[in-house]
Amino acid sequence: MSQITQDPLAAGREAIARLDWVAGYELLRAADETMELAPEDLMLLGEAAMWNGQMEVIHPYFERAYRGYLQQGNTLRAAFVATLIAHGLKNDLQMSVANGWMSRAKRLLDLEDEAPEHGYWALQKSLVELGEHNFAESLALAKQAEELGRRFGDRNLEIRALQRQGNVLIEQGEVAEGKLFLDEASTAALAGELDPFSTLVVYCNTIGACRDVADFESAGEWAERASDFCESGGMNAFPGMCRVNHAEVMKFKGRLSEAQELADRASEELRIWNPRIAGAAFYELGEVRLRLGELAQAEQAFREADELGRTPEPGLSLLRLTQGNAKGAFASIRRAAGDESLNLPAQARLLPAAVEIAVAAGEVDKAAGYAERLGSIANVYETSALRASAAFARGQVALGRGEADSAFHEFRDARMIWDSNGATYDVARAREQLGRALRDGGDEDAAVWELQAAAARFERLGAARDADRVGELLMRDVSTEVMKTFLFTDIVGSTEIASAVESDRQWVNLLRRHDDALRAIFADFQGQVVDHTGDGFFAAFEEPADAVGAAVAIQRAIDQEFEFDIRIGVHSDGALQTRENYHGKGVHAAARIGAAAGGREVLASKDTMSGLPQFATSEHRSITLKGFKDPVDVCSVAWAPG
């Protein structure tokens, strides 16, 4: 009989020591069935359960460990475990029970001389005070925890307390000083100075702080590092929390399908064991669905967020506006924006929507006040995304007042900033508003140029309602019904590839080679590039054979010259053409087919391929496209030589 079978406890401890959480959990659980585990082994079992995503059993293990430490007379460790239990119950939204455990821990600690356990209690209490916006008390408790960590050589406590101070300072608007604390904590995590739990806590708090001040570039980088850390350590718990933050980054980048998938997964992963953060996941899901034009699904997600304690604003008010209820939307957003307890990051999230809704409701003076507040916050935090939002808000106010020239300059500034940040959805919004400002200023040709660009961008992103709204603006110009074959391309896993390359310059050079290769193929097959966003193309062809031929040539070129994969969708259908742009259901369908394609696949509609016997096909199937009632028959087009 093996040593593992003979002694699962010793084998479980060894597995945990080498961060093999799966084996460690199974072995310690087996040991728990045959013997009475010591409190420290129950703590290991609870930690292993957490990293395996077995959240429902953590508290029972920790509570048993708490009782075990009390029986041993180890008051300090019992208090430490009580503090951990309180933290978990707070995430479960069981606030009264959590407060009871905090009181129990404090009573035990009061019996002992100062030790690191006092610091961990202070750290948790600091989090509670921060949530209630008692910044001075939260900061004092965090400093106390840092001092105890340094005095007793507990690096995990010291660094987490430093980061808490940074979080408090940033929420108070002291951004520069707060970032210094965050940077120091993040450096310690990167250097491997902390245990796995503390490392992930530092990562997630850094991501949250960056996200709160709209520093989405940094938030995205830290989200990638956190995910990599979880994957390398076989940890299944924290990715759910990181996915919430990552979803917001993807939404900012305009990668709406990816954002929806991340938020959807996170909401289900977190619903049971961390309802507080699950509420944030449902909120993100609602905002993404709103941008995709899925209004009923967006409302349901906002409802779920509300039930889990996350306010559904400003998304719910924006939904009401989209549904045509500007008056109701203004009433709800005015109430939300008037909450004097909101900290600056929370105000920054509400105010852009408040400006948009107030202008739509004819409350331009109120919108101007909101825009001024947003500008002041942008000056405090100095992140590019907030500066762009503030400029966009000023442009909306100017347009509402009939000041077309002033609006144009503000929208142009916002577009340039968002363009530099890769915020593709917001770039489309800015170009739509530029078109409106130019039209009001009498420059119809320039207006149509901007509106066409906005429509093409919205089409590509899958923002169907936005595309249709801009399409209605373009109907003032001459639109022609045409039959075309549309082709959409996308690099699979581009975010991961970009983070894996050695430098940003290398990624830019790689994209340039990709773009040049595809443009040459489009030209060879008489294709028209309608839009190019990031790592994908939207092209139109007169003949289906040319479109499919181009798709085949692209896959072969990618296979030979690049190390990544690409997905391609091809669909022939009617559309409305306005100069060099196309919009309508046919374009929507082609974009959805492209999104449904797998890596290294050319996915085409059956109707497109019906008259093209020269191309071999396989995997014939029916798929449901978002926004379309009836399923569409599609197939894979063979492209490999020979």
Going from the N-terminus, what domains does the chain have, and what CATH number goes with each? 1-113 (1.25.40.10), 125-235 (1.25.40.10), 480-642 (3.30.70.1230)
At what angle are helices 155-171 and 135-151 packed, to 10 degrees?
A: 160
Asked whether residue 17 carries a pLDDT value surpassing 80, the answer given is yes
What pLDDT does residue 476 have? 55
Go through 58-93 and write b for each residue having 16 or more CB atoms within 10 A of its CB, e for each that does not: bbebbbbbbebbbeeeebbbbbbbbbbbbbbbbbbe
What pLDDT does residue 3 have? 44
267-271, 365-369, 463-467, range with the lowest pLDDT: 267-271
73-87, 351-365, 572-586, 590-604, range with the lowest pLDDT: 572-586
What pLDDT does residue 96 have? 92
> Could you tell me which residue, 286 or 229, shows the higher pLDDT?
286
Beta bridge partners of 622: 633
DSSP string, 199-244: HHHHHHHHHHHHHHTT-HHHHHHHHHHHHHHHHHTT--SHHHHHHH
| 181-239 confidence digits (pLDDT tens) | 988 998 898 888 998 889 888 888 888 888 777 787 777 777 777 777 777 766 655 55
When pLDDT is cut at 50, 70 and 90, the band that residue 240 belongs to is low
Amino acid at 621: R
| 549-584 confidence digits (pLDDT tens) | 999 999 999 999 998 999 999 999 999 887 678 888
Asked whether residue 630 carries a pLDDT value surpassing 80, the answer given is yes
Average of pLDDT values for 36-55?
89
| 587-605 confidence digits (pLDDT tens) | 999 999 999 999 999 999 9
Which residue's structure tokens are 């939904």?
Answer: 319
Whole-prediction pTM value?
0.67
Which residues touch 470 (CB under 8 Å, ≥6 apart)?
432, 435, 451, 454, 455, 458, 583
DSSP string, 180-194: HHHHHHHHHHHTT-S
Asked whether residue 474 carries a pLDDT value surpassing 90, the answer given is no
Average of pLDDT values for 62-91?
94
What pLDDT does residue 2 have? 44
- How many Å is the Cα radius of gyration of the chain? 27
- Whole-angstrom Cα distance, residue 509 to residue 115? 54
Percent of the chain with pLDDT over 70: 96
Please provide the average confidence, as pLDDT, over all residues in the chain: 90
Asked whether residue 478 carries a pLDDT value surpassing 90, the answer given is no
Q: Are 402 and 440 in contact (CB under 8 A)?
A: yes
| 577-586 confidence digits (pLDDT tens) | 876 788 888 9
Asked whether residue 546 carries a pLDDT value surpassing 90, the answer given is yes
Average of pLDDT values for 12-20?
90
When pLDDT is cut at 50, 70 and 90, the band that residue 5 belongs to is low
Average of pLDDT values for 55-62?
87
Encoded tokens for 403: 């000041």
Asked whether residue 1 carries a pLDDT value surpassing 60, the answer given is no
Q: Are 604 and 568 in contact (CB under 8 A)?
A: no
What pLDDT does residue 276 have? 80
Phi, psi of 112 (to 5 degrees): -120, 155
Name which of 163, 171, 128 is nearest 343 in CA terms. 171
Q: Are 258 and 244 in contact (CB under 8 A)?
A: no
